[in-house]
């Protein structure tokens, strides 16, 4: 028979050593039942840890969402977010257009491209009280309008909504867009400078040229000013103005500055021309027949500014406006149609008054 071993209780020193050993021993399995920590406590601890990790992830996602929202608001305020707007809410003639002609062949190509691939670049508009005013993208707008006539899917057009109003920013944006996408003709550049100044957007044609074509060279701006002179003097009579070459336009401007305006207008008035070439022949002959005026040499410096006189309203509609420059006064009748006889009477009365 085996001899029984007598058990003795460990003393305080042995118990301390045992506790220190348990504390130093790593726990390999958190779900072991012989752990000193109760299983329910371990589960609660792990759930709390996972919850903390989820809270960190949620906070990161929230911060990203807030950042995205702020960037969206900034992009929207800068007019960088495209919106779909109804065509009938857009006023295409909100500002005077720099383009005079629409090439029908190019328009047909644009329409087919939009029909097949959609609009790649939205138009630019500015908000009005009752809709939107078109700033740039007239050809794209016209293409959508033609497509919408037979397909309601094109009744709305993607647009950037700019805070440009009808001021200088709107004109600059329109000219820049057209210069980048399809160069304006020499005449169209001069014309839009005159129109913008005439609407009071700029104080003078000189200021309009400098603002609308600020990135152009000094020589190019000088040519724009020359074509502006051509438009002011002959724009209502020219039938093929956009086909004037640079050389032809500069020759006309030089003749106009030398006092040949009346002769040019007489050559164009009532003339039946079939194309740009025959029209230019008339002007070229008039330039040769014009008397040579003495040229006053400039002392250099900035060009003389043209002072615009505030328009005076006419009782039966329309207005009279004038521009005063050194050695020249231009009077314009707007909103009224006068025949040749009425104009001749007006000129005689003016001559009698001036003496």
For residue 197, what are the contacts with CB-CB under 8 A and spacing of at least 6?
203, 204, 205, 207, 208, 308
Query: For residue 125, what are the β-bridge partners?
Result: 134, 161
Tally of residues, the chain: 355
Give 10-residue mean pLDDT values along the chain (355 residues): 62 68 56 56 64 58 62 58 86 70 81 88 83 83 91 90 64 63 76 78 83 85 90 85 89 86 84 85 81 49 56 75 72 74 80 77
Tokens read off for 327? 């050695």
Instruction: Spell out the domains of the chain, with CATH numbers in brackets.
Output: 73-165 (3.90.1530.10)
Rounded CA gap, 331 and 324, in Å? 9
pLDDT digit string, tens, across residues 101-123: 677 888 888 899 888 888 888 88
Residues 6+ positions from 170 with CB-CB distance below 8 Å? 94, 95, 126, 133, 135, 162, 164
302-322 pLDDT per residue, tens: 444 556 677 777 777 777 777
Residues 6+ apart with CB under 8 A from 199: 96
pLDDT score for 272: 81
pLDDT at 286: 83
Helix (H) or strand (E) holding 162: strand 156-162
Taking a C-beta distance cutoff of 8 angstroms, is the pair 123, 136 a contact? yes
Instruction: State the DSSP H helix or E strand holding residue 68, giving kind and residue range, or none if neither.
Output: helix 39-77
Residues 6+ apart with CB under 8 A from 82: 122, 158, 159, 160
Radius of gyration of the chain (CA): 39
Strand order in the sheet with 123-128: 82-86, 156-162, 123-128, 131-136, 90-91
């Amino acid at each position: 028979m085996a001899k029984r071993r007598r058990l003795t209780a460990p003393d305080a020193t042995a118990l301390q050593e045992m506790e220190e050993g348990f504390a130093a021993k790593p726990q390999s399995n958190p779900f072991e039942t012989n752990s000193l920590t109760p299983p329910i406590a371990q589960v609660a601890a792990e759930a709390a840890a996972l919850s903390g990790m989820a809270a960190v992830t949620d906070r990161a996602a929230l911060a990203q969402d807030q950042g995205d929202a702020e960037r969206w608001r900034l992009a929207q305020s800068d007019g960088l977010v495209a919106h779909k707007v109804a065509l009938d809410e857009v006023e295409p003639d909100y500002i005077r257009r720099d383009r005079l002609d629409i090439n029908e062949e190019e328009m047909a190509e644009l329409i087919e491209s939009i029909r097949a691939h959609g609009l790649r670049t939205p138009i630019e508009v500015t908000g009005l009280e009752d809709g939107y005013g078109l700033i740039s993208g007239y050809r794209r707008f016209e293409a959508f309008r033609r497509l919408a006539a037979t397909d309601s899917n094109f009744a709305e057009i993607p647009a950037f909504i700019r805070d440009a109003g009808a001021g200088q920013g709107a004109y600059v944006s329109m000219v820049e867009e057209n210069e980048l996408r399809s160069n304006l003709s020499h005449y169209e550049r001069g014309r839009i400078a005159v129109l913008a100044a005439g609407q009071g957007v700029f104080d003078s044609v000189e200021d309009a040229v400098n603002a609308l074509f600020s990135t152009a060279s000094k020589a190019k701006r000088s040519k724009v000013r020359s074509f502006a002179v051509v438009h002011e003097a002959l724009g209502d009579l020219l039938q093929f103005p956009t086909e004037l070459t640079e050389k032809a336009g500069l020759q006309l401007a030089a003749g106009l500055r030398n006092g040949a305006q009346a002769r040019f207008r007489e050559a164009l008035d009532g003339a039946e021309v079939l194309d740009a070439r025959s029209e230019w022949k008339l002007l070229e002959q008039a330039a040769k027949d014009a008397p040579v005026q003495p040229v006053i040499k400039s002392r250099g410096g900035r060009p003389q500014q043209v002072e615009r006189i505030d328009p005076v309203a006419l009782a039966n509609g329309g207005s009279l406006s004038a521009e005063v420059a050194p050695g020249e006064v231009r009077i314009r009748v707007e909103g009224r149609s006068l025949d040749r006889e009425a104009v001749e009477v007006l000129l005689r009365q003016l001559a009698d008054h001036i003496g």
